[in-house]
Amino acid sequence: MLWLLFFLMTAIHAELCQPGAANAFKVRLSIRTALGNKAYAWDTSEEYLFKAMVAFSMRKVPNREATEISHVLLCNVTQRVSFWFVVTDPSKNHTLPAVEVQTAIRMNKNRINGAFFLNDQTLEFLKIPSTLAPPMDPSVPIWIIIFGVIFCIVIVAITLLILSGIWQRRRKNKEPSEVDDAEDKCENMNTIENGIPCDPLDMKGGHINDAFMTEDERLTPL
Amino acid sequence: MEKTRPLWSNPLQFVFACISYAVGLGNVWRFPYLCQMYGGGSFLVPYIIMLIVEGMPLLYLELAVGQRMRQGSIGAWRTISPYLSGIASVVVSFFLSMYYNVINAWAFWYLFHSFQDPLPWSVCPLNGNHTGYDEECEKASSTQYFWYRKTLNISPSLQENGGVQWEPALCLLLAWLVVYLCILRGTESTGKVVYFTASLPYCVLIIYLIRGLTLHGATNGLMYMFTPKMEQLANPKAWVNAATQIFFSLGLGFGSLIAFASYNEPSNNCQKHAIIVSLINSFTSIFASIVTFSIYGFKATFNYENCLKKVSLLLTNTFDLEDGFLTASNLEQVKGYLASAYPSKYSEVFPHIKNCSLESELDTAVQGTGLAFIVYTEAIKNMEVSQLWSVLYFFMLLMLGIGSMLGNTAAILTPLTDSKIISSHLPKEAISGLVCLVNCAIGMVFTMEAGNYWFDIFNDYAATLSLLLIVLVETIAVCYVYGLRRFESDLKAMTGRAVSWYWKVMWAGVSPLLIVSLFVFYLSDYILTGTLKYQAWDASQGQLVTKDYPAYALAVIGLLVASSTMCIPLVALGTFVLHHLKRGDAAPMA
């Protein structure tokens, strides 16, 4: 009697979890691709962990808080490492609807990935598309900030150059009149000082005696 | 007091200005393409021959004309012969500066976007419900998507104009402000800026050379591209393209070289400088192509290995093989085994298996903006610390572009500031400002959605035929109208050195013949091609498709070519008529 029950159970299990069965999902892991040398072997303990993670995810769905690890069935484990799984209800006669399983897995994909040190590309649930992380969108795009900085620097530089050009031109226009003033001053000074001719005088108002050599010419240029 | 002509502070500034102008984007994105298409290492043979026969003599001629006449292109030509006017050069330079600065705007755009992690062109944006990537981006690649959609926002054809995009428009405005800043004070400011624009690209190229040569797969690219294919030497197109490349790469005929040389001391040894500048220009082309080919090799190897990985993954998933079992070395073996062991399943998956070939990856020859903004960015995104490489690269493109823009604007501004009418009313800051403003306003056309198609029109047709004609007329005018002997004695009096027989033979005979043959070749090429076509981006397919130009675009092309070439005969005719009228007035008085 017990043997019959046992056979019945495995038969039901076999029926519930089959490649392509209703509400069954194929999972594919690429451990060697993800971890290289540090890859772990896929054994029954890892399968147990997987069942635990799926049960954990189902528990987060309302009305399914009673899901146990034994409700998750795995089958057709290949060398690839790929397998199919279904989640049964507590009576173990029916499988839970695919939509619920999908939602549960999608919500907790990050936790499942983390448990196996994998990511969305190396731990694939076929037919459950993962929600891709949205790109970080700062409120002000970064390029505008840099653009603004360089724009302001260029405008300031242009303004400075134009202003200095205008200033230089104004000084050049004033110089002919300055020359006349200095000449007047010279004539006055001529009467005050004793006959120093005005032309060699520095226009800026210094009293340089051209008879002496200036600093620059003391050293013979190379 | 007579206002003396501004001079370069030292001859080095002049050399740097010429180098900065001649070494431009063409050296980086056109020469490697030609080298690859026309026989790799063996392309250097026609290139160097054309350099010696065509490049150096014509460059020396232009610099000598500028230095002797000491005026911009309009004044210089008028001194050679009153019937000639350099206004054609100014028109061509004006067209060039209109569209060339858009490249700088794009370089600024990419430069500003390089300060992000990850680089925006390395990942596709997500689609509406975040379950996958944007469709257009999947069909094309992420770098193509960023260029065609995010930068240009290109429309499917020339007819659909779209509106002005504010982002490229802002970048164009900034580009023109930077150019204005550099030319604001004339040679005083330009002379200092060219120190940077001439030398910084070399620093970046050297850094890139070291990085490029150490990349995985770089040697594949170098070996493939530089292996000489001697049979290409018999291909006349190789020689024509070598001549064209030398011609346009040196920037002859625009009037910029005349403008730069006019600020020289009359005793300057322009022969030495001409040889130096042309040698440096060609050397830079070859140097840049070494860098480009190593980057190509890296990109091709990367894509090839990716392709192999995809095929391995496909087979691993289909046949549930052990993960990591398939490698590049046993792929063919395993494929054969699977084909025999599981024939039905294999035939199902066979159409999806791509034939990965390193040669076909290396064979993708790209030139122009496609090379600079798509291929290079694709290679950069796969390097480590890609932000740094991206910033360096686009900074170099900017320096090259701004260096050339300084020459272009000098060609326009020098005649304007030389002319007494304009310079007496406006200070030179205002003239420069006006020129920049007008160019910027017209340049907004290239920031529209169809702007890139108009850019291609200008790039292909605004300067090509007209320049050949201008330089031909220049050479013939100097040799035969002004007189070769007179010019030679002028140069001897000016510089104190005699002109060697080699230059005289080249100026009087060889170079004009060469230019005429190039001109005939181009004309026949245009006529034989029939209707002109352009490449349009099809967003639904994610690739370029060929379309015909509409009638009004053909009219614009015709106008572009005609407006610059017709200037020469029209001005000659005008001067002739005026001359006759004046003589007619004078005769009765006498």
- Chain A residues with CB under 8 Å of B126 CB are 132, 134-135
Question: How far away is chain A from the Cα of B536, in angstroms, using its nearest Cα?
Answer: 28
Tokens representing A147 are: 């653009």
- The pLDDT value given to residue A201: 47
The reply, when asked if residue B404 is annotated as ligand binding, is: yes
Nearest CA in chain B to A153: B178
Q: Summarize the confidence of residues A125-148 as an average pLDDT.
A: 79
Does residue A131 register a pLDDT over 90? no
**B279-B280-B286-B292 Cα dihedral, nearest 10 degrees:** -160
d(CA B60, CA B507): 10
Helix H or strand E segment including B313: helix B270-319
Say whether A82 and B320 touch across the interface (CB within 8 A): yes
pLDDT digits (tens, 9 = 90+) for A91-107: 878 888 888 888 888 88
Q: How high is the ipTM of this complex?
A: 0.84
How many Cβ pairs within 8 Å bridge chains A and B?
79
d(CA A184, CA A188): 6
Which of A132, A163, A143 is CA-nearest to residue B125?
A132
Residues in B 563-582 with any Cβ partner in A closer than 8 A: none
pLDDT digits (tens, 9 = 90+) for A28-70: 888 888 888 888 888 889 889 999 998 898 888 888 888 888 8
d(CA B503, CA B486): 14
Question: How far away is chain B from the Cα of A154, in angstroms, using its nearest Cα?
Answer: 7
* A176 touching B (Cβ < 8 Å): no
* A155 touching B (Cβ < 8 Å): yes
Does residue A89 register a pLDDT over 80? yes
Sign of dihedral through CA atoms A11, A16, A18, A22? positive
Say whether A32 and B429 touch across the interface (CB within 8 A): no
Across the interface, of A130, A142, A157, the residue whose CB is closest to B116 is A142
Cβ atoms of B69 and B545 closer than 8 Å: no
* A103 touching B (Cβ < 8 Å): no
Question: How far away is chain B from the Cα of A6, in angstroms, using its nearest Cα?
Answer: 31
Say whether A161 and B180 touch across the interface (CB within 8 A): no
Q: How many residues does chain B have?
A: 590
Q: What percent of chain A has pLDDT over 90?
A: 11
3-class SS of residue B106: helix
Q: Give the CA angle between residues B181, B185, B190 to the nearest 5°.
A: 70
Number of H helices, E strands in chain A: 7, 4
What letter does residue B411 receive in the DSSP assignment?
H
d(CA A29, CA B481): 82
- The pLDDT value given to residue B1: 36
Q: Which amino acid is at B149?
A: R
d(CA A85, CA A101): 11
Sign of dihedral through CA atoms B549, B553, B555, B557? negative
Check residues A182 and B178 and name the one with the higher pLDDT.
B178
CA distances from B426 to B91, B180, B364, B408 (A): 21, 16, 52, 21
Which of A19, A27, A13, A5 is CA-nearest to residue A95?
A13
Q: Which amino acid is at B358?
A: L
d(CA B73, CA B473): 13
Cβ atoms of B221 and B298 closer than 8 Å: yes
Cβ atoms of B154 and B450 closer than 8 Å: yes
Residues 6+ apart with CB under 8 A from B237: B38
- The pLDDT value given to residue B488: 92
d(CA B195, CA B15): 10
Say whether B108 and A80 touch across the interface (CB within 8 A): no
**A35-A41-A45-A47 Cα dihedral, nearest 10 degrees:** 70
A202 confidence band (pLDDT: 50, 70, 90): very low
Across the interface, of B133, B174, B427, the residue whose CB is closest to A151 is B174
- Chain B residues with CB under 8 Å of A82 CB are 317, 320
Beta bridge partners of A95: A88
3-class SS of residue B140: coil
- Chain B residues with CB under 8 Å of A142 CB are 112-113, 115-116
Tell me the backbone φ, ψ of residue B126, rounded to 5 degrees.
-80, 155
* A152 touching B (Cβ < 8 Å): no
CATH of A13-125, one of 2.40.128, 3.30.70, 3.30.420, 2.60.40: 3.30.70
- The pLDDT value given to residue B441: 94
- The pLDDT value given to residue A188: 47
d(CA B304, CA B306): 5
Say whether B323 and A33 touch across the interface (CB within 8 A): yes
Interface test with A, best of B176, B323, B325, B426 (most A CBs within 10 A): B323
pLDDT in tens, chain B (590 residues): 345 788 898 889 999 999 999 998 988 888 988 888 888 888 999 999 999 999 999 999 999 999 999 988 888 888 888 888 878 888 899 999 999 999 999 999 999 999 988 889 988 888 777 777 888 888 888 899 999 999 999 998 888 888 889 999 999 999 999 999 999 888 788 888 899 899 999 999 999 999 989 988 899 888 888 888 888 888 888 899 999 999 889 999 888 999 999 999 888 898 999 999 999 999 999 999 999 989 888 988 988 998 888 888 888 888 888 877 788 788 888 888 888 888 888 888 888 888 888 888 888 777 888 888 888 898 898 888 999 999 999 999 999 999 999 988 988 998 888 888 887 888 888 899 999 999 999 999 999 999 999 999 998 888 888 888 899 999 999 999 899 999 999 999 998 888 899 999 999 999 999 999 998 988 888 888 777 888 899 888 888 889 889 999 989 998 988 888 888 888 888 888 988 988 877 665 54
Across the interface, of A80, A131, A155, the residue whose CB is closest to B316 is A80
Does residue A187 register a pLDDT over 60? no
The reply, when asked if residue B408 is annotated as ligand binding, is: no
**CATH class for the domain made up of B11-76+87-468+495-583:** mainly alpha
Across the interface, of A80, A155, A157, the residue whose CB is closest to B323 is A80
- Domain extents in chain B: 11-76+87-468+495-583
Cβ atoms of B268 and B495 closer than 8 Å: yes
- Chain B residues with CB under 8 Å of A153 CB are none
- Chain A residues with CB under 8 Å of B123 CB are 135
Cβ atoms of A118 and A38 closer than 8 Å: no
Sign of dihedral through CA atoms A57, A62, A67, A73? negative
Question: How far away is chain A from the Cα of B130, in angstroms, using its nearest Cα?
Answer: 6
Nearest CA in chain B to A159: B181
Question: How far away is chain B from the Cα of A1, in angstroms, using its nearest Cα?
Answer: 39
Say whether A32 and B108 touch across the interface (CB within 8 A): no
A186 confidence band (pLDDT: 50, 70, 90): very low
- The pLDDT value given to residue B123: 87
* A22 touching B (Cβ < 8 Å): no
- The pLDDT value given to residue A13: 58
Interface test with A, best of B106, B112, B431, B437 (most A CBs within 10 A): B112
Cβ neighbour number for residue A145 with a 10 Å cutoff: 13
- Domain extents in chain A: 13-125, 137-169
